[in-house]
Structure 1
Amino acid sequence: MGGHHHADVLVDPARRRRANMILWILLAPIGVLALVATIVLWPSGGLAKSPLGDIFGTANGAELSTGTVTRTVSEVCPSTEGLDQVGGKELQCQISYIAPAEGGASFALEVPPETTQSRPLKAEDKIKYLDMSHTSDSSAPYVFVDFVRSTPLVLLGLAYVAVVCLVARWRGLRALAGLVGGLYFIIGFMVPALLEGKSPTLVGLTTATVVMFAALYFAHGFSARTSTALLGTLFGLGVTAVIAVWATDAAALTGATDDSALTLSTVVPDLSLSGLLLCGLLIAGMGVLNDVTITQSSAVWELAELAPHSSAKQLFTAGMRIGRDHIASTVYTIAFAYAGAALPILVLVSLYDRPLLDSLTTGQMAEEVIRILVGSIGLVLAIPVTTAIAVAVVKATGSGAKPSGRRSLGTPDDGEATHPGHGREIEVGAAPPLNI
């Protein structure tokens, strides 16, 4: 269609500045509070660097070494050799011959059956083993520890970076840099602060807020749509924190459901395991909230660019049609992600002769269920709030007039298709998206 004029939405400089000012008036106090909280909660460094010591330092002279598998055969297990002389029975097991990385003669290594059943050792596999040949314990001079996984992990990491940068280009590279910075902040601030007994709720909220401020603006730039997504994300985090605090107390979640938690309670008695669980809920929900809010904010902007003279109600209705699809897909994405992570627990629970409801209310299962429910509630509520904020900002920066001949988004009748361009009027040749 020739001769059309570009839509004048989002081009009024005065109204654009006013909308950005309003957003910063809302965001600036939150950012200042997060900065102050970071300073107040910053770990003092008083905790011993390695209170547990070396995990493999069980005997003087024991060393963690690496080697390469040359071959694997089925032989008499060295641990049962000679038992037939006292009425026992020698057992066959998988024996791998290892060439030490530092050189020297190969040696036989008995691999635990739980490892060989899942992933037998093959020639050229790199492994870690505990060399106890120089200790007083001669019954097991070499003990299998784990596989060396450096090469596949590095290759996958490089492939991930290449794919992200190839598809998303500079924005993808900025997002990766934000991810690295966020992880560094979590390890450098959140973990030591928790170990020193700081409030897990405050530490979790502070960490999530600082990371979201930095990651969103760094990856998506300083714009009104990014600020809108950030407001929606912070709202979702607040809702998640409130519900998580209530749920962990109401469901009497102790966090002491595995060996790692019990070790922490012994080594770091000031650490609250239930608080650690709550903090984990906030960090887990942070990434998903960021995803849905930035997408929802961008969707409203694109709708406004296509139909710049739609009313606020029409924009919100159209945005929520997209939001409801996003809710439907993301909710089961969260559920399946947690179910996949908790699959060993699910399989173990299924082996007990107990009712399903009774199994779901055990400590470990209840933690997973509450993670799903709390994260989903915060996510679902963040979508309409983000949509409403985005519509308000778009209308505050647009012209608001509706000249004759301009088309706008219409609400389709029940039963009509709701994909863009069908069931509602859209101006053809609308203005390209503007970054405001």
Structure 2
Amino acid sequence: MSHRLPEPADSPAASGPPPGASPGPAPGGHTHAGHVHATGPVENLARYSRPAVVGLLVLAALATVIGAILLWPSHAERPLPIPFQAADGGPIRTVDATVISQSRADCGTLTPGTATTAYPAIAATGGPCIASVTRLTSGAQQGQYVVLSIATNRTQTDDVPGQPSTKGLDPNAPMAGQPDLHLDDHLRLSVITDPSGTLRYAFYDYQRGTPLIWWALAFVVAVVAVATWRGLRAVIGLVFAFGVLGYFTLPSILDGHSVVGVALVSSAAILFPVLYLAHGVNMRTSSALLGTMVSLVLAAGLSQAAVSSLSLTGLSGESTRTLQLYQGSLSLSGLLLAGFVIGTLGVLNDVTITQASTTFELAAVPGQSRLGAFRGAMRVGRDHIASTVYTLVFAYAGSALPLLLLFSVAGQPFSSLLTGEEVAIELARTFVGGIALALSVPFTTAIAAALIAPPSPEPGVARP
């Protein structure tokens, strides 16, 4: 009887199939006619996980659809608030114009606001007003010229009672509240018709369409260049999100529906396509979606408690006061709640998808247990929380910077600064977002860990 010695570890018999044999399936793929087809990352799932997650997400999707039907806006026409009305009660009309020349002139010699076919002759006397000649590039009087008169700080003198002092101000700079125009600036001018039928023009805003398009293109190119097709899908999801906000969220709130309900339905409607577009249809994304939804509901409850306990009314902002004046059915406290909920959406999405992916990756290590994967992912999550909390705080602090400066100039004590409603709202946003963010990490990690079935340990390796 002959005995066959064991093959060396690096021999063909030990390292792979014999010549002519069909290769076995590669990890994460299957074979067909001698080719290997990749199917993406292998997810070792517990037996019950897929139907349980699919069932929960189907229920959430049905609830979102029902909520959208119940809260669907009428898109009815509404009267314009007076600040946005023209003299005839319609919307403010604007035309485009370009600054073609500037000179210093006496304010009393200028006749601003009317269009002329001939280039206006302005005596450059070095006076205290800046005469900006603009050419209309749209509207009924396109091609004609309009003079805009901008008063400078030189029009304010110390010897005129009731006028502020020019001390410390640049005398040649436009007065506070006046636009600082330059040659070749592209402007929007408001148009009104006076009782005599003459069109009158005034500065309304700068044209920002073309620069915004270039910045948007730069953003898309940067995202797609780094994240490739996944980045492109994320941009498509972002466009969809803005569509939901513009076509459903805002009109539904204006119809007087529950603001918190609208915010939750809008967030869910955004999350489903955005997450799956950016990260693919798999159980990792699904676990992140579940974790985000749980955290959003928690954020809504925390927001309600914060608004109630801090007695936040929303009346400190000029825009909210204008809304209450012309849309009396709006709940300003509800509007605050909706802002809190929607404001946490982006940061929660970032944290939950990271936690789900980390948990699945750790669970794929041979010999790993569910508890080990959970603990490892939580260590990553703690670092993520620490960095993202700074993101929340500085984002809100940056938006409130002009307000902080105003309080500093007014000489208010620091305690008064912190407890004033405008700052308290920003602090409440930070606290609510931070709590929801912190709790989303264990929620999502636990959901992901419950769904996976860690692989069996390698021979000779004990499971920890």
Asked if 2 retains the 8 angstrom alpha-carbon contact of 1:175 and 1:219, the reply is: yes
Where does residue 57 of structure 1 map in the other structure? 86
Determine if the alignment matches structure 1 residue 369 to structure 2 residue 427. Answer: yes
Question: 1:265 corresponds to which residue?
Answer: 324
Where do residues 29-108 of structure 1 align in structure 2 (5 Å cutoff)?
29-45=59-75, 47-52=76-81, 55=84, 57-58=86-87, 63-78=93-108, 92-102=128-138, 103-108=142-147
TM-score, length-scaled by structure 1: 0.81
SS in 2 for 1:351: helix
Query: Secondary structure of 1:242's partner?
Result: helix
Structure 2 counterparts to residues 28-427 of structure 1, below 5 A: 28-45=58-75, 47-52=76-81, 55=84, 57-58=86-87, 63-78=93-108, 92-102=128-138, 103-111=142-150, 120-132=180-192, 141-305=200-364, 307-394=365-452, 396=453, 398-399=454-455, 401-406=456-461
Amino acid corresponding to residue 106 of structure 1 in structure 2: Y
The 1:407/1:202 distance shift into structure 2, 3 A limit, reads: same
Mean CA deviation greater in 290-299 or 90-99: 90-99
Amino acid at match of 1:290: N
Higher helix residue share: 1
Return the alpha-carbon distance in structure 2 between the equivalents of residues 238 and 115 of structure 1.
Answer: 49
Kept in 2, the 8 Å contact 1:60–1:135? The answer is no
Q: Per-residue deviation at 1:312?
A: 2.0
Q: Distance in 2 between matches of 1:393 and 1:244?
A: 30
Change in Cα spacing, 1:91 to 1:372, as seen in structure 2 (3 Å) is farther
SS of structure 2 residue aligned to 1:402: coil
What RMSD in Å do the two structures reach over aligned CA positions? 3.2
Q: Secondary structure at the match of 1:271?
A: coil
Matches of 1:379 and 1:328 in 2, distance apart? Answer: 10
Distance in 1, Cα, partners of 2:285 & 2:392: 23
Distance 1:201 1:67 in 2: 42
**How far apart are residue 120 of structure 1 and its match?**
2.9
Q: Shift of residue 280 of structure 1? A: 0.9
* Equivalent position amino acid for 1:364 in 2: E
**Separation in structure 1 between the aligned mates of residue 430 and residue 206 of structure 2, nearest angstrom:** 32
Asked if the contact 2:362–2:368 (Cα under 8 Å) also holds between the matched residues in 1, the reply is no
Equivalent position SS for 1:219: helix
Contact 2:363–2:369 (Cα < 8 Å) also in 1: no
Structure 2 counterpart of 1:110, one-letter code: S
Cα distance in 2 for partners of 1:60, 1:383 equals 52
* Partner SS for 2:77: coil
Equivalent pairs: percent with the same residue?
36
**Structure 1 residue 116, shift from structure 2 partner:** 7.2
In structure 2, the residue matched to 1:414 is none
User: Shift of the alpha carbon at 1:279?
Assistant: 0.5
CA change 1:137–1:64 in 2 (3 A) is same
Q: Deviations over 1:366-390 (max 9, x none)?
A: 1111111111110111011111222
CA positional deviation for 1:296? 1.5
TM-score of the two chains, using structure 2 as the length reference? 0.76
Which whole-Å deviations, capped at 9, do the CAs of 1:390-409 have from their partners, x for residues lacking one?
22222x3x33x22335598x
Q: CA deviation at 1:119?
A: 7.0
Q: Which ranges of structure 1 fall in alignment gaps of 5 or more residues?
A: 82-89, 411-436
Which stretch shows the higher mean deviation, 220-229 or 62-71?
A: 62-71
Change beyond 3 A, Cα 1:98–1:221:
same
- Following superposition, the deviation at residue 211 of structure 1 comes to 1.1
Aligned length: 393
Aligned-pair distance for 1:308?
Answer: 3.1
Moved more, 111-120 or 366-375: 111-120
Q: Secondary structure at the residue paired with 1:67? A: strand
Structure 1 residue 64 displacement after superposition: 2.2
Greater relative contact order (CA < 8 Å, ≥ 6 in sequence): 1
For the structure 1 residues 327 and 162, does the alpha-carbon distance in structure 2 shift closer, same or farther, using more than 3 Å as the test? same
Residues 108/243 of structure 1: CA separation in 2 closer, same or farther (3 Å cut): same
Q: Provide the secondary structure at the position in 1 that maps to 2:48.
A: helix
Q: Is the 8 A contact 1:225 1:298 kept in 2?
A: yes
Residue 276 of structure 1, CA deviation: 0.7
| Cα displacement string for residues 243-288 of structure 1 (whole angstroms, at most 9, x for unaligned residues) | 1011111111111122221121121111101101110111111111
Query: How far did 1:18 drift?
Result: 3.4
Larger CA Rg, structure 1 vs 2: 2
Q: Secondary structure at the match of 1:128?
A: strand
How many Å separate the matches in 1 of 2:415 and 2:252? 37
Moved more, 106-115 or 255-264: 106-115
Aligned equivalents of 1:137, 1:331: Cα separation in 2: 58
Alpha-carbon deviation of 1:79?
8.8
Unaligned runs of 5+ in 2: 1-8, 17-23, 29-40, 112-125, 153-172
**Structure-2 separation of matches of 1:376 and 1:80:** 56
Please say if residues 56 and 64 of structure 1, whose CA atoms lie closer than 8 Å, have aligned partners that are also in contact: no
Judging changes above 3 Å, is the alpha-carbon distance between structure 1 residues 349 and 407 closer, same or farther for their aligned structure 2 residues?
Answer: farther
1:165 and 1:229 map into 2 onto residues whose CA distance is 23
Retained in 2: the 8 A contact 1:299–1:319?
yes
Q: SS in structure 2 opposite 1:369?
A: helix
Q: Residue 110 of structure 1 contacts residue 144 of structure 1 at CA under 8 Å; is this kept in 2?
A: no
Residue 289 (structure 1) shift: 0.5
SS at match of 1:403: coil
1:312, 1:112 → 2: CA distance? 71
**Is 1:27 matched with 2:57?**
yes
Letter in 1 for 2:228: R
* CA spacing shift, 1:276–1:39, aligned 2, 3 Å: same
Residue 160 of structure 1 and its aligned partner are, at CA, apart by 1.0
The farther-off stretch of 310-319 and 338-347 is: 310-319
